[in-house]
Chains A and B, each alone.
Chain A
Amino acid sequence: MAQKAIREYDGKALFSKQWENYFSGFHYGFKSVLVSSGAELLEIANKHGFEWLRQEALVAKPDMLFGKRGKNDLVLFKDKKPGDVTLAQAAKWIDEKSAHNTTLLSGQTGILTHYIVEPFTPHSQEQEYYISATTVGEDDVLYMSAEGGMEVEEGWDEKVIEVAVPISMSDADMEHAVRANIPSDIPAANKTAFASFAIQFFKFYRDMNFAYLEINPIVMLENNDMAILDLVARLDDTAGFMMKDTWGDIEYPTAFGMEDQSPEEKAIADADSKSGASLKLTVLNPMGRIWTMVAGGGASVVYADTIADYAEANGGSISDLANYGEYSGGPTTGETKFYADTVIDLMTRHKDPHGKDKLLIIGGAIANFTDVAKTFTGIIQSFEENAEKMKAHNTKIYVRRGGPNYEKGLKDIKEAADRLGLYIEVYGPETHVTDIVRMALEK
């Protein structure tokens, strides 16, 4: 995927690093730390440059990509009254929150592991604004509002002004468009400064190759001092090769609650990262009875589509589909065997609760350059090792494939299955790519 979310802390650090280059006339005192525990916070507070942690009132909140932290009651900014949180209280709060599972209003659940801690910034509601930018269709769009804070989502159309910036628009035209569209409810005294900030914000968003950048709220204090209270950002990671030095060592965390990849999925992801070929595996339902090994990205989608269609039409449900994934780009025999071993191992762990047969769909379109016989050799080797387990689960195998050397591949896999006593049906390009799904499910 091209767009990757980054931590609020990393986003703010990037602002700070580039501040002098972009935001002339404004000040930003980057005071933020990212910690995983109360102890770590206390340790940083003893370091030179972080005296503010002991001297100022603090705000602490999880920094794990999800939003609506206020509504989820996950922002620590007051003990008795706003702006009285001490270092010790913040450390204690972090340890308390990390001690047990947290479930968000959205239903995501997991353990909190990363927190951002910053000084409490006293300010009035009038000083809060909203600003963000992203790509919509072919254009970039800058969004501005005189109202910051979490209420902005209610009444978006009335409160937020949009400025579309086509990719080929000159800076002069962009600046003109922004200045002409500053929200009318921004106080007259602040309009010029806000316009200037908005223009620089847009250039920063653009030059840093953000796909999405939102500050909600941005607070304009006295003397053009800016406070970035809440930030959400996604980078276009395909620009990584050009932005390496500018971005630095930026981390792309997985979404909260999604971290718990199974060891098998991790192993496949690991093999994928080391291979020139593409190996992907997502377990959708470990108890499901339909398991797939599909070659090719597009083909893997149509197999999943078709399984959903026919499972529902034949008295089953989408939960019958156990996994989604692909192997493509000319994997070696060894890589294919590993992939097959993993899928067959997962498939033979649980008996079907309704006593039905397990279905293994070995599908694929007509390959452009992948040698079908070579990849099937890996699958056959896996059959040889796992035949007894597969038989114990009444596995029925359906194969469809075309491409270089497919005749040999199909013949080999049929012979191997027959020799091992496995149920198999084998089809080539004369059969429609997904028709084996119908055959398997209509039985």
Chain B
Amino acid sequence: MDKLYTKDTQAIFWNNNTTAIQRMLDYDYTIKRKTPSVAAIVAPTSGNKFEKFFYGPDEIMIPLFKTTAAAKAAQPQADVLLNFASFRTAYDVTMEALNLGGFSSIMITAEGIPERLARGMNEFARNKNVTVIGPATVGAIAPGAFKIANIGGTIENIVQSKLHRTGSCGLVTRSGGLFNELSNIIAINADGIAEGVAIGGDRFVGSVFIDNLLRMEKNPEVKYMILLGEVGGTEEYKVIEAMKDGRITKPIIAWCIGTIAKHFSSGVQFGHAGASANADAETAAYKNIAMAEAGMHVPESFNALPNKIKEVYEKLKADGVITEIAEPDMNVCPKVRKSKEFICTISDDRGDEATYAGFPISSLATPDTGKGIGDVVSLLWFKKQYPKWATDFIETVIKTVADHGPAVSGAHNAKVTARAGKSVVESLVTGLLTIGPRFGGAIDGAAQYFKYADDNKLSPADFLNHMKKEGVPIPGIGHRIKSLKNPDLRVEGLKKYANEHFPSTSLLDYALTVEQLTTSKKENLILNVDGTIGILMVDMWRALGYSEEEINEFISSGTLNAFFIVGRSIGFIGHVLDEKRLAMPMYRHPMSDILYDVQEAEKI
């Protein structure tokens, strides 16, 4: 890996830090990235599925997950973890990600992770060849490609500091605040940076100066490097060694801050937790001398650093190592943006013609398009173009459930309401409101329970025992009069269609083994029409390539019930119109049909 990040790098952001994420997306928009740099957010306590962000003037949704594992499974290409967990959990989050694998770098922002944990974590990451940036850092940036969270500050400052496009300098600092400042100095005195890392202020950080400088040595965009060290520690000496043995050949401009410390014997902590000199070699003054002797470009003071940068840059330019950089086109983020209250992902009426999931209505409506109601359902409900066998099945289901006579409770309610003089819509919804766990709900229940039994590899006997323990009669099993010998022809039709047209019918096959067992106990315990529909819907989705989790979500969100609602609305409207035609009077239930058992209320 000779570059930390590219323009295709995507991250999983651990913690829904909306301000920092928005800054990343503003950056992405400014530099015209094709994909947002944040592919997923891990928010363990959020119940939401996504978070809205601005992308330039528009809004985009970034998916939210409860765990890193789920986020990684959904966005496997995202190989950077931005760990914004608190110091209490940052260690666990990092270790989980390292064990999951698939991350090339992990950035940790928390300050004050217990030192022993930090050491173990850093070592583990090194063995797994994962670059750790931090802990206690503002992050890193590959200008023109990828920027972590708040590094670089506001978008105005980023552009002013030329952090929106690749320059020639590789920058490594300990301090995050001075990183910004150095970027600005480099923009003023040279041509900006190619890659920059603030390694973090804690005593034990993952990647140290040498790790980052060795990578930059290999990065052809980096022509020279700037190292801003600090009093304390001996990391700068590793860089000196690398210069001596030839692993680093590019020019390095270096300075260690904290020269003030020599004036004060003890008691004053200048700077970070890692910044405390325990020996002469760890003082800033000593390190500055050593770095100069090793051949690095060391200014006489921090205040003289800009001139030193200018001098080295101009020399490299005169030598032809650095050439003039063409300033790229940028997008400009609007200053004022308003978040949208509603989101629609299925249809759009803004163009010449309204569309269903991208298809103009006229391309679906007339018979010559070859499209049916099943196609419309697949577009508007599932945002997919289902194959013909599936749309035909959907239509078969709708036709099959359209009506079941006037006596069922929903139809009865609709008829009673119509006779009370109410409108079509009022009568219809009265009927629809009856649909639920007892009326029409067997489709949902059958899909849910049979799928559970199949997923868990329960034998038919185990399944029956399980349902007995639950105290629930198996949904989708049993008919008032029909039996194996006297089969329900609607069921036979559905089964026949599925056998002929479905690529596979695994759940139906399982359900039929259950039916063999139940009918051996009692003849009318057959797989009924509700059960068959629910089960075949699962088989349809399986054959269409949906994951088991997605199918479970269809079931729990009530999608199966929705097929029943659509179909049965046709029947209810029929009954309501029937009542209107017949002009039957207001209905009153006969008293003779009611058991009256009213006692005088007791005093309490």
Choose among A298, A321, A435 the residue that contacts B303 (Cβ–Cβ < 8 A): A435
A308 touches B260 (CB 8 A): yes
Which residue from chain B places its CB closest to the CB of A168 in the assembled complex?
B123
* 13 A/B residue pairs, CB under 8 Å, sorted by A: A1-B273, A2-B202, A138-B119, A239-B116, A242-B114, A284-B264, A297-B272, A298-B177, A306-B301, A321-B260, A366-B161, A367-B180, A403-B153
CB of A168 to closest CB in B, whole Å = 5
**B104 contacts A by Cβ under 8 Å:** no
- Mark the stretch among A32-40, A189-197, A426-434 that contacts chain B: A426-434
Q: Mark A232-247, 1 if CB is under 8 A from B, else 0.
A: 0000101101100000
In the assembled complex, which residues on chain A have CB atoms less than 8 Å from the CB atom of B188?
A: 430
Report how far A135 CA is from B114 CA in the complex, Å: 13
Count of chain B residues with a beta carbon within 8 Å of a chain A beta carbon:
63
B306 touches A432 (CB 8 A): yes
Q: Mark A360-373, 1 if CB is under 8 A from B, else 0.
A: 00000111110000
**B271 contacts A by Cβ under 8 Å:** yes
A238 touches B303 (CB 8 A): no
- Size bracket of the A interface: 35 or more
**B138 contacts A by Cβ under 8 Å:** yes
A238 touches B87 (CB 8 A): yes
Which residue from chain B places its CB closest to the CB of A325 in the assembled complex?
B268
**B263 contacts A by Cβ under 8 Å:** yes
User: Given A306-B303, A402-B184, A403-B180, list of 16 further CB < 8 A pairs?
Assistant: A137-B234, A167-B116, A211-B115, A239-B114, A242-B114, A297-B201, A306-B301, A308-B259, A321-B260, A366-B153, A367-B177, A367-B180, A369-B153, A429-B160, A432-B306, A434-B302
**A324 contacts B by Cβ under 8 Å:** yes
CB of A260 to closest CB in B, whole Å = 11
Which residue from chain A places its CB closest to the CB of B150 in the assembled complex?
A368
Which 6 pairs of residues, A with B, have the shortest CB-CB distance? A298-B175, A239-B114, A298-B178, A365-B181, A296-B177, A304-B260
Which B residues lie at the A interface, using CB under 8 A? 19, 87-88, 112-117, 119-120, 123-124, 127, 138, 150-154, 157, 160-161, 173-178, 180-181, 184-185, 188, 201-204, 230-231, 234, 257-260, 263-264, 266-273, 275-276, 284, 301-303, 305-306
CB of A173 to closest CB in B, whole Å = 15
A298 touches B153 (CB 8 A): no
In the assembled complex, which residues on chain B have CB atoms less than 8 Å from the CB atom of A211?
A: 115
Report how far A310 CA is from B259 CA in the complex, Å: 12
A301 touches B268 (CB 8 A): no
Choose among B123, B176, B275 the residue that contacts A138 (Cβ–Cβ < 8 A): B123
Choose among A238, A298, A433 the residue that contacts B114 (Cβ–Cβ < 8 A): A238
Report how far A306 CA is from B255 CA in the complex, Å: 13
Which A residues lie at the B interface, using CB under 8 A? 1-2, 135, 137-138, 166-168, 206, 209, 211, 236, 238-239, 241-242, 255, 258, 282, 284, 296-302, 304-310, 318, 321, 324, 328, 365-369, 402-404, 429-430, 432-435, 437-438
Choose among A137, A168, A304 the residue that contacts B124 (Cβ–Cβ < 8 A): A168
Report how far A133 CA is from B540 CA in the complex, Å: 66
Which residue from chain B places its CB closest to the CB of A432 in the assembled complex?
B306
In the assembled complex, which residues on chain A have CB atoms less than 8 Å from the CB atom of B260?
A: 301, 304-305, 307-308, 321, 324
B175 touches A297 (CB 8 A): yes
Which residue from chain B places its CB closest to the CB of A312 in the assembled complex?
B263
Report how far A369 CA is from B116 CA in the complex, Å: 31
In the assembled complex, which residues on chain A have CB atoms less than 8 Å from the CB atom of B119?
A: 135, 138, 167
Take A238-B115, A282-B268, A301-B270 as given contacts and tell me if A404 and B177 are in contact as well, using a CB distance cutoff of 8 Å: no
Report how far A282 CA is from B268 CA in the complex, Å: 8
Among A1, A238, A365, chain B packs the most CB atoms within 10 A around the CB of: A238
B175 touches A432 (CB 8 A): no
In the assembled complex, which residues on chain A have CB atoms less than 8 Å from the CB atom of B115?
A: 2, 135, 209, 211, 236, 238-239
